[in-house]
Amino acid sequence: MTQSTQSAIRNPQSAIGIPSRIFLVGFMGSGKTTVGRLLAERLGRRFIDLDEWIVERAGKSISQIFAEDGEVYFRQLEGELLRDVVKEPELVISLGGGAFVSEINRRVVKEHGVSVWLDCTFDVILKRLGDASDRPLNTSPDRLRELLESRLPSYSQADVRIDAGQVWPERLVDEIMQILRC
Ligand code: S3P
Q: What is the pLDDT along the chain (182 residues), one digit of tens a residue?
A: 343 334 555 554 444 567 899 999 999 999 999 999 999 999 999 999 999 999 999 999 999 999 999 999 999 999 999 999 999 999 999 999 999 999 999 999 999 999 999 999 999 999 999 877 788 999 899 999 999 999 999 999 999 999 998 889 999 999 999 999 88
CA-to-CA dists, residue 117 to 34, 154, 176, angstroms? 14, 10, 10
What residue ranges line ligand 1, CB within 6 angstroms? 28, 32, 51, 62, 96-98, 135-137
Q: Are 97 and 28 in contact (CB under 8 A)?
A: yes
Give dist(CA 52, CA 96) in Å, integer. 10
Protein residue with least CA distance to atom 8, ligand 1: 96
Protein residue with least CA distance to atom 16, ligand 1: 28
Question: How many Cα atoms within 13 Å fall on the side-chain side of residue 21?
Answer: 21
Atom of ligand 1 nearest to the CA of 30: 14
Q: Are 111 and 20 in contact (CB under 8 A)?
A: no
CATH no., domain 18-180:
3.40.50.300
Protein residue with least CA distance to atom 4, ligand 1: 96
